[in-house]
Chains A and B, each alone.
Chain A
């Protein structure tokens, strides 16, 4: 099933990236380039599948209708940058390199960073089960990252960019401040050092998970029913997290894929309402500005907040 995607990535590598690297005298990056090609192709597939599913859903049962939906355009840009473009390349290079250096350093000092398969040898030879366990653990870890990003004022100043969107659609999943993305990766890396990361041999599963994350932001009157909403994060469940009254420190429904953590730690809200979204405390530019303006405003807001915190101290 993955053959067409792999073929596209191979073609991109062989006929576009390698000639480019060769011309630039940068052939030492050919392996990294191939990694990016795979990322980009699967990212493009994610965008295509998500669009094909979510656009009809949003037209069929929209929560809100907007006469002017220009504010959504910037979210489309965020999505392409995040899933296909520069961001995967940078994070791939940085993350891979940092992980290699840290793991190697630890291995030299007699501590081989564990993987789930090493901790539980019964998992060896059961890659799908291993992958699913990684998803559960990483989702749990991400619940706490997300919750802390609301708890600390300076962090929320960055994260507010994600919440400022009043016209939330499936494109909004990737509208994040770059520093917020960096913090997420640092968080992910810390977990990866403790339990390893799943081998990337299940791109279709990753695609499915990303689809679910996008779907949870969709402007669609959709819930998964009483039981379904307690198993997987639905658009209605996640919409409550983006509600105007839930922005900032006291929010609900932090889970990205599994609502289990919200239930367990009593932050779940299973209201049947489809609330209005946005952060009323955020500057207008964070809601309707362009990409660069939003990034700058987010940074300024964080620095102001840091300055105020230091002043208070």
Chain B
């Protein structure tokens, strides 16, 4: 006579057992509309767990020494300092309205854009002491530095302008019109590139005076710009276009090819195997694209995934207790 209740202790033991094997390499996804971070096994391409945060995580930055991964929880007014290998929380730093953020190349400063509060804050790296606030109208969105860390360029989504902030003198150098709803900003070959989400182009801007030298047409709703790790290709994600990822030659800015990737492609992380990991904002998924074939796999994550951080060396237990 079968006695299934005998298996109950075994089931209980399995449930209480330590977490299964660790992932070799992991990806962290910021689910902006769900107040969670998804941890994905890089090799197995499956979501391992979700880490609850307070409100609205959007973007991330790695400290110059690689020790801490900063995740900006916008609605909670705080930066989460995580271990980039295990994603365990180390510290919380109160910061007003942190949306997009980035360390200067010399590692001395951290610039934080407050999109909703129309402000750009410059912090001392390490101590996170506020050095200077620049109220900028309006909706400061993305940012890029000059390689010498002298200047940071910030797109002002609400007013169609790009701002240049002199970080030595701590003063606004100029703001200039660059297009409709500028979003992604990138420093490339001595020029500032700005993706104009309200149109279909990337503006090539002279960093000295902010003059637009030319426009590269990519697709409707040009949103974000990412340079490939080898520096040869530039990926532009377009919000509205059917062929929603445009690839440009980084040297000439000539279009090379495009990929069809519906669902609102937003941020990209580059994997060591050459594949590209995209967050798809409107379908709650991450796409893993093989750039050679254009084929992609899909992984379910939380609501409205935005920032994505990939660490091939991460060793993440499948269920680390979150704090």
Contact = CB atoms under 8 A, between A and B. Distances in A.
Contact of A22 (B34, B36, B198): B198
13 contacts: A28-B157, A28-B198, A30-B197, A100-B117, A103-B96, A104-B96, A107-B77, A112-B77, A112-B78, A113-B77, A115-B55, A117-B54, A199-B35
A3 B300 CA distance: 10
Given A6-B303, A201-B35, A108 B96 contact: yes
B16 interface: no
Interface in B52-86: 52, 54-56, 75-78
Interface string A195-209: 010011100000000
A64 B281 CA distance: 48
A25 B281 contact: no
A97 B117 CA distance: 8
B304 A34 contact: yes
| Interface bracket on A | 35 or more
A25 B119 CA distance: 23
Contacts of B139: 28
Contacts of A121: 323
Interface string B93-108: 0111100000000000
Contacts of B220: 22
A94 interface: no
A117 B240 CA distance: 38
Label chain B's interface by main secondary structure: loop
Contact of B283 (A10, A19, A125, A201): A10
Interface of B: 33-36, 52, 54-56, 75-78, 94-97, 114, 116-117, 119, 139, 157-158, 180-181, 197-198, 220-221, 239-240, 262-264, 281-284, 302-304, 321-323
Given A14-B262, A38-B303, A201-B36, 14 more contacts: A2-B303, A10-B263, A18-B221, A18-B239, A25-B180, A27-B180, A27-B198, A28-B197, A28-B198, A30-B239, A100-B117, A104-B97, A104-B114, A200-B33
Contacts of B181: 25, 27-28
Nearest to A201: B34
A35 B54 contact: no
A49 interface: no
B33 A10 contact: no
Nearest to A104: B96
Contact of B33 (A27, A38, A125): A38
Nearest to B141: A28
A112 B55 CA distance: 14
